[in-house]
Amino acid sequence: MILVDDEEPVLDLMERMLKSNGNIEIAGKFTRPEEAIGRIQTEQVDVVFLDIQMPGMNGIEAAEYLMEAAPEIDICCRDGK
């Protein structure tokens, strides 16, 4: 799983919550969607959690790139309002 959010505290919280499950491996946390796109091109990832509202490339745009690079990936989006 990869986590993408422009707010570092949110990334840390999501990581703690997901790791507490015990069955989830976090392959990376990114504040820039471009970094996540680069990661899935070199590493197999099942799920990406994306913030929708991010500066530059928003979560919807990032999801399009991610689906193009890895069509089998599951994408979960959150609206950071």
CATH number at residue 62: 3.40.50.2300
Report d(CA 68, CA 34) in Å as an integer.
13
- With H, G, I as helix, E, B as strand and everything else as coil, classify residue 74: strand
Q: How many domains does the chain have?
A: 1
The total of other beta-carbon atoms located within 10 Å of residue 35's CB is 13
- With H, G, I as helix, E, B as strand and everything else as coil, classify residue 38: helix
Whether the full predicted model's pTM is greater than 0.85, yes or no, is yes
Question: Which stretches within the chain are classed as H helix?
Answer: 8-19, 33-40, 59-69
Average pLDDT over residues 3-19: 93
Boundaries of domain holding 56: 2-78
pLDDT tens-digit series, residues 15-68: 999 889 878 889 999 999 999 999 998 888 999 999 999 998 989 999 999 999
Report d(CA 36, CA 2) in Å as an integer.
7
